[in-house]
């Protein structure tokens, strides 16, 4: 038996060893999760999507809002959840402790617990420091976090549910990764944020998009955006970067190091590649990028500044296409999903979770196999206004330059626009009128990679807030007055 003095010495040495051994760095392998957005005209039942997650063994999901039907569907599944708070709510939550208490009570406490939703993180805002916001939300972040933390303490959840702030990669900058630093105007608030994250055991969450670097910069080397090697490596002292992800990640590490938190664990909140809607956004590129990313992450290689230590978690953006999202950033915004809107896999992808390929959603309830197309016997001279109005309501982004339906010809374009609107109207026969220019057909007009969709039905839906549940009935041809009433 060891002498007490020797035992004390050994214990002290062990404590010092543990304390000095980068305790914040994750020891386990990275987990692959997905972002589940619901801004869609054709929403699947949440229970269908949850079954899709389970069939593909996806262990973690990130939500952008606390939607009741989604959280109910996630109960008892064991899937870990990050639930989001929109930027527009930060001011209220930061100025009112009672509002923060209410939010936690309604959106976390109500769902968590035995056989409940396994909520692990609350994302306070979504990229609130984005340059294009011009500081609009910047000063609300820390007050909201502090109030929400106190609310979690009151609810006895602070030890289990962690607060994070998903940041866009434009929060930091540098010409070389090792020189990375947060934007000067963010230095003070970032210091406060990482101090809070560190003291509460929370990771730093960052969204990294090599696609956007390529899309926004014509001089950006295309192969550097992927993981297959590059003819344009970036040399930074002894380190050589062969892909944009590693370079971006290490730029963040350098920025955190400048604040004294170089060992902080990092979660990739969003990363992915769109499959349509722009040049460079296609099925092949999306598959190559996402598979390369997963292989890279699960290989546990880490990055030059943090070798052999990959991010804690990586949430692919995204699970499903969201056809009702704003196209302000680009038409590709509606096409990030690894699955199409109806839960069908777009391409083979091994998530490293046990299945070699993606499994499709089951028991999806479609509308009848009917499409609205341009009537071949009609004079289409005056069709432009009808097309414009249809596409102002429905999703026609695949018709644009670089889209999968861009080369199907004039009549094909007209038919696609008509059908998109017709499906959105739950195949109401009157919605295929277009002053006699449209007609309903049972023959699938899809051409090559251009898919003419059939909508999903809300029959038996467990989503009371589903957008597709709204049957937009109108009389007569499509008019500008009708469109304005739907888009206000």
Phi then psi for residue 164, to 5 deg, are -140, 165
Counting DSSP H helices and E strands in the chain, the numbers are 13, 17
Q: What is the pLDDT of residue 12?
A: 38
323, 334 Cβ separation under 8 angstroms = yes
For residue 49, give both structure tokens. 């999507």
Structure letter (DSSP) for residue 253: H
- The answer to whether 127 is a known catalytic residue is yes
For residue 136, give both structure tokens. 């609009």
**Could you tell me which residues come within 8 angstroms of residue 196 by beta carbon, excluding any fewer than 6 positions away?**
142, 145, 146, 149, 163, 202
Q: Which structural domains are found in the chain, ordered by start? A: 24-334 (3.20.20.80), 371-486 (no CATH)
Q: Which residues of the chain register pLDDT less than 50? A: 1-28, 459-461, 463-488
129, 138 Cβ separation under 8 angstroms = yes
Per the rule left: phi > 0, alpha: psi between -120 and 50, beta: everything else, 446 is beta
The torsion angle over the Cα atoms of residues 71, 73, 76 and 77, rounded to 10 degrees, is: -100
| 136-163 burial code (b ≥16 CB/10 A, e <16) | ebbebbbbbbbbbbebbeebebbeebbb
Structure letter (DSSP) for residue 106: I
Distances (CA, A) of 330 to 269, 270, 385: 20, 17, 23
148, 122 Cβ separation under 8 angstroms = yes
| Among 34, 32, 33, 31, CA closest to 320 | 34
Q: What is the pLDDT of residue 136?
A: 97
SS3 108: helix
Q: Which of 270, 322, 333, 481 is catalytic?
A: 270
SS3 sequence of 139-152: HHHHHHHHHHHHHH
The torsion angle over the Cα atoms of residues 198, 316, 152 and 110, rounded to 10 degrees, is: -170
**Sign of the CA dihedral running 274, 287, 123, 250:** negative
The rounded distance, in Å, linking the Cα atoms of 84 and 124 is 6
Q: Which of 67, 127, 322, 333 is catalytic?
A: 127
312, 266 Cβ separation under 8 angstroms = yes
Tell me, rounded to whole angstroms, the distance of Cα 323 from its chain centroid: 13
Q: What is the pLDDT of residue 462?
A: 53
- The answer to whether 67 is a known catalytic residue is no
The rounded distance, in Å, linking the Cα atoms of 254 and 262 is 7
The rounded distance, in Å, linking the Cα atoms of 445 and 55 is 31
Q: What is the pLDDT of residue 458?
A: 63
Distances (CA, A) of 85 to 137, 269, 472: 13, 14, 29
168, 127 Cβ separation under 8 angstroms = yes
Structure letter (DSSP) for residue 70: H
280, 401 Cβ separation under 8 angstroms = no
């Amino acid at each position: 038996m060891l002498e007490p003095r020797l035992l004390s010495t050994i214990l002290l040495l062990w404590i010092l060893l543990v304390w000095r051994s980068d305790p914040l760095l994750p020891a386990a392998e990275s987990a692959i999760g997905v972002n589940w957005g619901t801004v869609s005209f054709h929403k699947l039942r949440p229970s269908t999507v949850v079954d899709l997650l389970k069939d593909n063994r996806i262990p973690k999901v990130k939500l952008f809002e606390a939607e009741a039907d989604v959280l109910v569907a996630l109960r008892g599944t064991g899937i870990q959840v990050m639930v989001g708070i929109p930027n527009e709510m930060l001011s209220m939550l930061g100025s009112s402790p009672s509002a923060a208490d209410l939010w936690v009570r309604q959106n976390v406490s109500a769902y968590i617990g035995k056989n409940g939703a396994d909520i692990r993180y609350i994302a306070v805002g979504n990229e609130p420091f984005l340059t294009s916001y011009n500081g609009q939300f910047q000063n609300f972040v820390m007050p909201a976090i502090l109030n929400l933390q106190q609310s979690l303490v009151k609810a006895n959840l602070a030890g289990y549910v962690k607060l994070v702030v998903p940041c866009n990669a434009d929060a930091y900058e540098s010409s070389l990764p090792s020189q990375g630093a947060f934007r000067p105007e963010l230095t003070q608030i970032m210091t406060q944020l990482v101090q809070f994250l560190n003291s509460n055991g929370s990771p730093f969450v960052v969204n990294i998009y090599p696609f956007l670097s390529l899309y926004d910069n014509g001089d950006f080397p295309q192969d550097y955006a992927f993981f297959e090697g590059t003819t344009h490596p970036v040399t930074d002292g002894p380190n050589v970067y062969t892909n944009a992800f590693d370079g971006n990640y290490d730029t963040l590490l350098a920025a955190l190091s400048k604040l004294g938190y170089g060992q902080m664990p990092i979660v990739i909140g969003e990363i992915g590649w769109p499959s349509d809607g722009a040049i460079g956004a296609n099925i092949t590129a999306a598959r190559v990028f996402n598979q390369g990313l997963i292989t890279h992450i699960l290989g546990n290689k880490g990055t030059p500044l943090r070798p052999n230590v990959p991010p804690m978690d990586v949430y692919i953006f995204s699970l499903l296409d969201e056809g009702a999202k704003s196209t302000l950033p680009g038409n590709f915004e509606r096409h990030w999903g690894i699955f199409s809107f109806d839960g069908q896999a777009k391409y083979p992808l091994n998530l490293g979770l046990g299945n070699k390929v993606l499994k499709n959603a089951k028991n999806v309830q479609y509308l009848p196999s009917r499409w609205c197309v341009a009537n071949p016997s009609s004079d289409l001279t005056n069709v432009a206004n009808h097309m414009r109005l249809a596409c102002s309501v429905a999703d026609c982004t695949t018709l644009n330059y670089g889209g999968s339906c861009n080369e199907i010809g004039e009549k094909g374009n007209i038919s696609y626009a008509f059908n998109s609107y017709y499906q959105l109207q739950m195949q109401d026969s009157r919605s295929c009128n277009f002053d006699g220019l449209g007609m309903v057909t049972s023959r699938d007009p899809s051409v090559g990679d251009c898919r003419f969709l059939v909508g999903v039905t809300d029959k038996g839906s467990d989503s009371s807030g589903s957008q597709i549940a709204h049957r937009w009935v109108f009389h007569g041809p499509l008019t500008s007055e009708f469109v304005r009433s739907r888009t206000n």
